[in-house]
Structure 1
Amino acid sequence: MTNIAKVAIVGGTHGNEFSGIYAIRQYQANPALIQRPSFETSTLFANPEAFKANKRYIHSDLNRQFKTADLANPDLTNYEQSRAKVINELLGPKGNAKTDLVIDLHNTTSNMGACLIMTQAGPFYNQLAAYVKMKMPEAIISRDEDHLAAEDHALMCTLGRYGVIVEVGPQSQSVLRQDVLEQMHQMTAHILDFVELYNTQSLPALPKRTEAYLYLHSIKLPMNEKGERLGMVHKNVQDKDYHPIHPGDPIFTLFDGTEVPYDGDRVVYPTFINEAAYYDNNLAMSLNDKIWIELE
């Protein structure tokens, strides 16, 4: 087992997700909150220009710029593409990173609670998931395309040797909620505590099975051939993140009143329902399978 020596906590990857930004400011004002004896913790404000503009991003989504090939592409030069290259130098370089663990702090407008999102698989992540769920039973554990190699992931957290996203909602864009910020602090502290226990081989007995959700695919709002929206998320689905959707359940209501049923052949669990940031892509929600993470 190789110890975690350097941890980076990143806020403001999206300029209008305020909890991570203000959490970083609190950590900078009181570093003792994030320091642990066995490793060094730093902070990074990822996208200050987007924050100044009160926008998610200036030119393109910063959290989609971290594929290895894109970081090496000299033709990608807009603000976020250039900023990603700078961050890669600060925390990476990807594939041989100086940072052992990246914790990227995010908000969602969806009613998802406090979620630990893992984009890679392996024993470290499995133990982390079990620990966080044990300490914070209300937390949701999400596995997001963790079958992909890190080099093929575009997310910032994949810069580190390990990386996770702390995603907390619901919170409207460009506002703060005390309950959401407190949940973000709580989950981040549990992650840091886990790393300390992991490094010192002092982990408590962990649950052998941890409930989690595995990303399957995303679905779009109903649209016509002109790309115009024909309807909206059904009221029975709205705000019901992680509640089951059965085949035949209504998931959309068209503006003429027609209900559109889910046409899949399995029970799925929706997340990022009506996420405001995804409206430019007409995404309605992501669908997930419920799974168990097993410890050996």
Structure 2
Amino acid sequence: MKTWLITGTSTGLGRVLTEKLLAKGDRVVATVRKPDALDKLKKTYPENLWVAVLDVTDTAAIKTVINQAFTDLGQIDVVVNNAGYALFCSVEEASDEQIVHQINTNVIGSIQVIRAALPYFRKQGHGRILQLSSAGGQTTYPNFGYYHTTKWAVEGFCDTITKELAPLNIGVTIVEPGAHHTSFGAGMTTAPAMEAYENTPAGDVRRAIAAGTFPIKGDVDKSVQAMIDSVETSPAPLRLALGGDAYRDMRTALVSRLEALDAQKDLALASERGDE
């Protein structure tokens, strides 16, 4: 039996992950923003479900919740940074407040959850971090600029700390789902549309999403099971791509970037200082 701490468990992947773990006998510390979001689950699993109200933009609250969870449960094996959302608009359409909130939730919140857990992981001699990113942490789509900003940022952070934490027996896996049938789309925040972007790729994506013409083939149950299974893999896989669209879009982006880099090889080498 393992003990998990999962942020953002009211709906979506976080909710399904919580349900599957409880069904198999694991313990879960589940954070929510609405106090009654998991009342039914709590009645079904009164001994194995520990619920806390948490807004991940509140760093002090993050520290309080994680400190209390480790104190009450003694040990937490896996921390899953799942809380987050998408700001869906073109670059000019977002307000300053929306941009700050997107970054505070998806980046600062994730970083502070990890930082709060690390002293306990070090003390107990092991730990695993699952960081929810997205295929959009390696590729990009118009109208998701600020969301991509957060996912690319948190991937850079996690890629870095993997090297720092491996000697301490703390593993990190970046989870990169493609499109899945969850509440993600309904939870997107938008901004008033500007006519100037109507006939640009941003407008095309806006219309496609409104019309429901984006294919969504990701299987939530299978993807969540893959996340659970990854914790049993040692060493921890650095990245976990979930969904055919995630694989295809990320591979296309990576190949394109590599080709562009290789095309600049001579220029890059020529810009070195010669031996003196």
TM-score, normalised via structure 2 length: 0.36
* Structure that is richer in strand per residue: 1
* Structure that is richer in helix per residue: 2
TM-score, normalised via structure 1 length: 0.34
